């Protein structure tokens, strides 16, 4: 990553604590803070979406409007999604983060992203930084603008995320694997949408939308299909009665199981078993 200021000599550890650097977001796909940073601040000029890496997977899309500000812990990795936005990523030094972002300490310490309220001064300073880096302005100029920007950010209030903020596109693989394992281990029990959503760590509404985007199936349809698939294995590989099979895959009555099975396979479980054993 290109830093907006390259010191003529390597800074000492004490100097590094007080340095804040920045990069232009143009042509930058993934953003990770260098050592010594206390926080990452994105200021976008023009709307864009961002993602954060969670457990090795890129998680939910978060849209940011023109002038939007996102603050993250320095250990986070963030990437821009879709159209490349203009703007800056500021790597705020540990000392500056402690000095100016004390009101965000609990959020950042808990691993939460923080969105700040739109602020015309912050947007103007971000535009100045973009122009300074594009024009190759003196490093002292950009350093001073960064200091002013970070100070101003410390005065801007946080804006809570609502569930409607996130653009839920598809369920990340690590969440999907959790849900599939949960379903497979509990096919003989009652599994609700709320249960599956809780395993994924999402609200029922957002889980349902993401799950369908990832699998092409609604959660309930997937659950039923998985029950029928497992029932077919038991019917073919065991001597269990149809009632036993029905109970083993989570149906409460044989009649309900037979109705659902016939809807999927166009024949009753008993007929399906006879056909397979005769083949």
Q: Which domains does the chain have, with CATH numbers?
A: 13-165 (2.60.120), 173-278 (1.10.10.60)
Confidence of residue 96 (pLDDT cuts 50, 70, 90): confident
For 17-67, write each residue's pLDDT tens digit: 446 788 888 766 788 888 778 899 999 888 888 888 876 777 767 888 888
Of residues 261 and 46, the one with the higher pLDDT is: 261
For the chain, give the percent of residues with pLDDT over 70.
Answer: 86
For 148-193, write each residue's pLDDT tens digit: 898 889 888 887 665 445 444 677 878 888 899 999 999 999 999 9
Checking if the pLDDT of 110 tops 80, the result is no
- Residue 56 CB burial class (10 angstroms; 0-12, 13-18, ≥19): exposed
Q: Give the pair of three-digit tokens for residue 172.
A: 């990340």
Give the β-pairing of 77-81 and 21-24: unpaired
For 115-150, write each residue's pLDDT tens digit: 898 888 888 888 888 888 888 766 777 888 888 898
Give the C-alpha distances (Å, rounded to integers) separating 80 from 6, 63, 86, 131, 136.
Answer: 24, 10, 11, 20, 24
Closest-CA residue to 114 (of 97, 93, 95): 97
Confidence of residue 97 (pLDDT cuts 50, 70, 90): confident
Q: H or E segment at 35?
A: none
Confidence of residue 214 (pLDDT cuts 50, 70, 90): confident
Give the C-alpha distances (Å, rounded to integers) separating 143 from 16, 21, 37, 133.
Answer: 13, 8, 15, 11
Closest-CA residue to 241 (of 269, 268, 265): 269
Answer yes or no: are the C-beta atoms of 24 and 135 closer than 8 Å: no
Distance CA 49, CA 68 (A): 10
**Over the range 133-166, which residues count as b (16 or more CB within 10 Å of their CB) and which as e?**
beeebeeeebbebbeebbeebbebeeeeeeeeeb
């Amino acid at each position: 990553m290109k830093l907006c200021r390259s010191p003529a000599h390597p800074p000492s550890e004490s100097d590094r604590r007080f340095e804040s650097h920045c990069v232009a977001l143009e042509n930058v796909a993934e953003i990770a803070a260098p050592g010594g940073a206390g926080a990452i601040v994105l200021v976008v000029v023009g709307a864009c979406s961002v993602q954060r890496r969670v457990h090795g997977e890129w998680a939910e899309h978060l849209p940011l409007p023109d002038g939007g500000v996102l603050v993250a812990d320095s250990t986070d990795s963030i990437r821009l999604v879709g159209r490349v936005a203009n703007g800056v990523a500021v790597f705020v030094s540990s000392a500056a983060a402690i000095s100016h972002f004390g009101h965000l300490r609990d959020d950042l310490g808990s691993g939460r992203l923080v969105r700040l309220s739109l602020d015309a001064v912050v947007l103007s300073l971000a535009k100045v930084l973009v122009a300074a880096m594009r024009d190759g302005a003196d490093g002292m100029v950009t350093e001073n603008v960064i200091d002013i920007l970070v100070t101003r950010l410390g005065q801007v209030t946080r804006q809570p995320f609502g569930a409607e903020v996130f653009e839920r596109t598809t369920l990340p693989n690590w969440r999907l694997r959790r849900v599939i394992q949960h379903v497979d281990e509990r096919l003989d029990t009652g599994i609700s949408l709320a249960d599956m959503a809780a395993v994924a760590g999402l609200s029922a509404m957002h889980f349902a939308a993401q799950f369908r985007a990832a699998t092409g199936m609604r959660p309930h349809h997937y659950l039923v299909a998985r029950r029928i698939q497992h029932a077919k294995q038991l019917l073919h590989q065991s001597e269990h009665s149809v009632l036993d099979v029905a109970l083993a895959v989570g149906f409460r009555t044989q009649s309900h199981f037979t109705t659902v099975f016939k809807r999927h396979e166009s024949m009753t479980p008993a007929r399906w078993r006879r056909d397979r054993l005769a083949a």
